[in-house]
Structures are given as structure tokens and as C-alpha cells.
Amino acid sequence: MGTQLTTTRTDQPDGPGSRPLPPVEKPRRGKGTDRSGASLLNGVGHLALFFWAVIVVVPIIWVFLASFKNTTEIFSSPWTLPAELRWENWGRAWTKAHVGRYFLNSVLVVSCATFLTMLLGSMAAYVLARYKFWGNRFIYYLFVSGLAFPVFLALVPLFFVVRNLGLLDTYTGLVLVYTAYSLPFTVFFLVAFFRTLPNSVAEAAMIDGASHTRLFFQVMMPMAKPGLISVTIFNIIGQWAQYQLPLVLVSSAKDKWVLTQGIADISVNAGYEADWSGLFAALTIAILPMIIVYAIFQRQIQSGLTAGTGK
Amino acid sequence: MRHGKYPFVIGFLAAPVLLYSVFVIAPYAQAFQISMTSWRGFSAPKWVGFDNYRLLAEDNRFWQAIQHHLVLLLALPLITIAIALFFSFMLNVAGKSSGGKRSGVWGSKFYRVVFFFPQVLAVAIIAVLFQTVYRPNESGLINGVLMKIGLDPILFLVNPNIALWSILGVLVWQAVGFYVVLFSAGIASIPGEIYEAAEMDGATRVTLFFRVTLPLLWDTLQVAWVYLGIAAFDAFAIVSVLSVDNGGPDGATTVLGLEIYRNAFTYSKFGYASAMGVALFFLTITFAVFTLRVTKRESVEY
């Protein structure tokens, strides 16, 4: 996948001295077919863009509205506004359906695992990128090979490894496994990043008597900040979305379930209990924080994710 | 940088390598070994050689799953890339050019933000969301509308002929925004002069798209195809949550991940499940290598 992808944003000027030409005043646009063809394309294009935006937004707004309705309203008038704001649906979802619990579990596991991933990943990547030693290449490829394997291949043995270590149904087990499975990409990305950092700063710091450890934490980590932020975003999104690992590793401890597992389970039970509004409230509680976080950080998230995957 | 180098290197590598070896490398290695046993989890594993693979070859569910992967493998990248390419062209190139600088159509920034949004939602959450969207009675988003205007409801997930396509629709719904952003980054790195020169020669937008954008974006397209292909070999979370009765109706939407999970953690057939894992591994690798080979061409210098 040897593609180099720049993260140049569209709104940047395209390089120095790129405009010696006079402004192009649409030369030879006289051909009528061209013009009508272009406007037709534009019309269809605008329509398609608008249509897709509607498709993306409508299900979410619909769920949000339904979270305030009661079951009768959901069935009889799926397309109208709720008669009143029934916050009790949200309360029921948060406490009785344990969405609050699942939510906090997800926050706990993902923040610990992302922190550990970034710490261990950057340590390994730094050493692999900037030190020559016996076995360097071997360890690097060991990490990178993890990118190519489907997780399902490891699922059965992983279950037994975690069980034998006594970590089944524990937060620790989940955090360690999330971290381990996030390392291949983190190391792969950060090795490339640490290689681009200038040597001169490192040498100056060494001459001033900094130890290797100090050099890493006080000089290299701050310099690598843009790369670290990209990978952190990538890991948070990836780990927050995890479904099959918690399904296998904490299945029998319901109080340790993460949000994705919890919501999936609620959707199964909603049918039996006929608590549809509770399901919509639970869904909204799961979706809303992501919308808010995304709305605030959308620039960083978009550029971070494309930088992260455009290897 | 000589003083104390080795203690430092070992100190920094010990924890990550240990963690990685225990939870990633060891399980992968063991998977191949377990696939040669008839292990049910209680007694010691019994070596059975290639028996599991022989059973696999006669397992209808397994072939059904493979078939679904092939459908997804063709349709998911094709549809997603086509839509995303069109949108990213609209959002970056199709607008007015002022002073030689290409821009997107009106509202480009807004669209890019909105389209990307599903990407930050967990697939399992999206699956629950679409369960309610696809619900077969008047409480479903789509069927609610259809029944109001007097049409028959569409049984999205219940009708075996369209269930897989309904699931595919959700995958496309989620993926398009990401590839719009990915392709936009690629298009942004194409120098404006090339478009200018082409326009001077009287190129229409359609020509611009096929003669300029597409060839210069080839590397990005290749990456997109590989990612979407690998996603087509996964699809576990969405099928397991969204489909009726776990890969149903009657196996019409099942995927290998689901069969592995079912055989291992419902029936405790660990050896058999691992054999499926190995099959999945070879399918994924074959796909990635094959794609990179086939799509290899001289990258255009600019």
C-alpha cells in the first residue's frame, strides 16, 4: 500500500508561485452543448449531495424525536413531533436499562486503553525508528504483520489466553487486549513519524547531558505532537466502536459491558418488553455525545483519520 | 548516543513487545494449531489433521458465508467508491474556478462535515439504529412512510432475497463520508495548473473527471479498494446485530465472522471455528495481494 497521501486541505493556496497566469476567463465556453451539459451535471450533483445529506441526517433526527414519544405515538404517528418531551424515557434508559453504566464502562476502558496504547506504542516506535540494534527490523515487522491478520483468526485462542491469565470479565483484561490490538497500527504510523524528526535537536539535547529517557519525554514527544494526536483520535474512535472483543471477553459480567454491547442487548430486549421509547432513548444517549464531540473536533478528526489511513 | 543505549532500548521495548506477543502473536500462532484439533474446551485437544477443513468443505453455512463475502467484496467497494468519487469531485472541482483555484460547489464544507458523521458512530450502534429504520411495520422509518401512502411494506431484513442488500446499504451509508474526505485530500494535492491547462483546451467537466482527476487519483483509489475489501471480509458487528436471528433469515446474510463466533462460543467447536478463521485469513491475504497486483500501474508523475 505504498501510497503517500498528503493531508493538504482544499482551502490552502496551492503552493508558492502557482499563479503567474492571468485569471482564466472561461475561454471558449461558447459551445452551447458544453454549458448546458455542465449545468445539468451541476443540477444533478446538487440534488445528489442534498439527497445524501438527508439520508445521513434523517434517521438520527427521527430516533431523537422518537426518544420523547410513548409507544402509542411511535406506532401511530412515526413522523410527527412528540406531544410532549418525555424525559422519563431517557431516565429509564439511563438507569433501568443501565445505559449510564455501559457508557461509563466504555469511557473507562477506552481512556485507559488509549493512554496505554499511546504510551507503549510511542515508546516502541521511537526506539524502532531512531536506534540501531540487533533485531530492530524483526520486531518492526512483527508489529506491522498484525495489520494484515483478521481478528477473527485469533478470537478462540485469545479467549483462552485471557481466561488462563484470570483476566476474563475484568476491565484489566479488556484494556490490555484493546491496547495490544491497537499497537500494530500505532507503531507503524509513529515509526514513520519519528523518522521524520530532525536529528540536530536530539544531538543538542544529548550534548547538554539529557538521558535517553529524558530526551524522549521532554524533547521528542512534544515534537511528535501532531502525529500523536492523529493516532490518538484514530485509537479512540476504533476502541470506542469495538464490539466483538468485549462480546467475547466480558460476556458473562453484565456490569462490565461496554456501550456497543449494552445497546445491542437493549435492542433485543426492547421487543419482548415492548419498551420501544426506551430503546430510542438509549440509542440517542449513545449517539448524541458522539455528535457533539464530532461537531467540536470535526476538522481534527477528519484530517487525523485520513492522515492515519492514507499510508 | 552510545552511552547506556541497550538498557534504554530494552527498557522501552520490553512492555510493548511482551503485551503484543501474549495477546496478538501467540493467539494467531495457536489458531493454526487449534484448527488441526477437535478441541471442545474440556479435555486435552486431540489432533485430527485436516479433518476440520474436510468438514468445512461440506458445510453449507460456510459456503453461504463465502458467497456473501464475494457479493460484498464486489458491491461494497464498487458502490461506495462510485458515490464517494462523484461527491468528492463535486465538492472540490466542480465549482467555479476563480483565479485558477478550483473550488467545490456551494455548501461543500457543510456536506463534507455531514457526510463524514456516520464514520464516528460505532457499527453496532448503527446496526441498532437501522433495525428501527428497517422495521417491517408502521413503526419503521421507511415502512411507516410507505404504509401511510398506501403501499405494501418492504420486508428489508426478513425477505431473504433483499436482506443482504439491505445490510450492504447500511455499510455504504456509513462508509461514503470517509472516502469523500479521503478522495478530497487526494484531489487537493493535484496541482491547479493541470485543471487550468485542461480547461484552456476546452475540456468539459466530464472530461476533467475522467482524464485528469481519475488517473491522478489512482493510488488513493487502490488504497480505498483494499480497505473496503477488507471491510467486506469483516461485517461481523453489523450482521450480528442487524440481521434477523443472527445471519438469517435461514443464513441469508451470514458471514464468516459470525460462523466463527457461533461455532466457538455457542457450540464450543473450537477446532472447527479456528479452521474457519484460517480460511478467512487466506481469503483476506489473497484478496489484498491480488488487488495490489491487478491495480498496479505506473503512477502518474506531476
pLDDT at position B173 is 95
Q: Is the dihedral of CA B247, A276, A78, B122 positive or negative?
A: negative
Higher pLDDT residue, A148 or A58? A58
Is there a contact between A216 and B204 if contact means CB atoms under 8 Å apart?
Answer: no
ipTM of the complex: 0.85
Decide if A276 touches B, using CB distance below 8 A.
yes
Does residue A38 carry a pLDDT above 70?
no
d(CA B122, CA B130): 13
Provide the whole-model pTM: 0.84
Nearest chain A Cα distance for residue B219, angstroms = 6
- Give the distance, in angstroms, between the CA of residue B301 and the centroid of all CA atoms in the same chain: 29
Pick the residue from chain A with its C-alpha nearest to B96.
A26
Is there a contact between A152 and B277 if contact means CB atoms under 8 Å apart?
Answer: yes
A232-249 pLDDT, tens digit per residue, is 988 998 999 999 999 999
Q: Count of H helices and E strands in chain B?
A: 15, 0
Does residue A21 carry a pLDDT above 60?
no
User: Which residues of A, range 20-49, sit inside 8 Å of B by Cβ?
Assistant: 21, 23-24, 26-28, 31, 34, 37-38, 41-42, 45-46, 48-49
Is there a contact between B97 and A156 if contact means CB atoms under 8 Å apart?
Answer: no
Helix (H, G, I), strand (E, B) or coil at B101: strand
Does residue B99 carry a pLDDT above 60?
no
Name which of A3, A41, A49 is nearest B219 (Cβ-Cβ): A3
B225-278 pLDDT, tens digit per residue, is 888 988 888 889 899 888 887 877 888 889 989 999 988 888 888 888 999 999
Q: Per-residue b/e over B285-296, b at no fewer than 16 CB within 10 Å?
A: eebbeebeeeee
Q: Which residues pair with B101 in a beta bridge?
A: B98
What is the number of CB-based contacts under 8 A between chain A and chain B? Answer: 343
What 3 state SS string does A244-296 have? HHHHHHCCCCHHHCCHHHHHHHHHHHHHHHCCHHHHHHHHHHHHHHHHHHHHH
What 3 state SS string does chain A have? CCCCCCCCCCCCCCCCCCCCCCCCCCCCCCCHHHHHHHHHHHHHHHHHHHHHHHHHHHHHHHHHHHCCCCHHHHHHCCCCCCCCCCHHHHHHHHHHCCHHHHHHHHHHHHHHHHHHHHHHHHHHHHHHHHCCCCCHHHHHHHHHHCCCCCHHHHHHHHHHHHHHCCCCCCHHHHHHHHHHHHHHHHHHHHHHHHHCCCHHHHHHHHHCCCCHHHHHHHHHHHHCHHHHHHHHHHHHHHHHCCCHHHHHHCCCCHHHCCHHHHHHHHHHHHHHHCCHHHHHHHHHHHHHHHHHHHHHHHHHHHHHHHHHHCC
Is there a contact between A41 and B117 if contact means CB atoms under 8 Å apart?
Answer: no
Helix (H, G, I), strand (E, B) or coil at B37: strand
Does residue A67 carry a pLDDT above 50?
yes
Is there a contact between B105 and A18 if contact means CB atoms under 8 Å apart?
Answer: no
Is there a contact between A133 and B188 if contact means CB atoms under 8 Å apart?
Answer: no
Residues in chain B: 302
Name which of A34, A45, A283 is nearest B129 (Cβ-Cβ): A283
Name which of B22, B105, B188 is nearest A161 (Cβ-Cβ): B22
The answer to whether the beta carbons of residues B192 and A12 sit under 8 Å apart is no
d(CA A262, CA A98): 8
pLDDT at position B2 is 53
- Least reliable range by pLDDT among A212-216, A280-284, B74-78: A212-216
* B34 contact residues in A (CB cutoff 8 A): 156-157
* Identity of the amino acid at B176: V
* B206 contact residues in A (CB cutoff 8 A): 37, 41
* A216 contact residues in B (CB cutoff 8 A): 12
Nearest chain B Cα distance for residue A267, angstroms = 7
d(CA B197, CA B188): 16
* A19 contact residues in B (CB cutoff 8 A): 99-101
- CA-CA-CA-CA torsion for B155, B160, B164, B165, nearest 10 degrees? -50
Name which of B97, B132, B185 is nearest A8 (Cβ-Cβ): B185
Cell of A19: 499563479
> Within 13 A of A295's CA, how many CA atoms are on the CB side?
6
Name which of A63, A121, A154 is nearest B132 (Cβ-Cβ): A63
Q: Which of A302, A224, A276 is nearest to A65 (CA)?
A: A276
Q: Per-residue b/e over B197-220, b at no fewer than 16 CB within 10 Å?
A: eebeeebbbeebbeebbeebbbbb
Is there a contact between A12 and B176 if contact means CB atoms under 8 Å apart?
Answer: no
Name which of B90, B139, B222 is nearest A45 (Cβ-Cβ): B90
Does residue A30 carry a pLDDT above 80?
no
Nearest chain B Cα distance for residue A75, angstroms = 5
Higher pLDDT residue, A193 or B103? A193
Name which of B92, B206, B261 is nearest A10 (Cβ-Cβ): B92
CB atoms within 10 A of CB A274: 9
* B22 contact residues in A (CB cutoff 8 A): 161, 165, 180
d(CA A145, CA A139): 10
Cell of B296: 498496479
A141-194 pLDDT, tens digit per residue, is 999 888 878 888 888 899 999 999 999 999 999 999 999 999 999 999 999 888
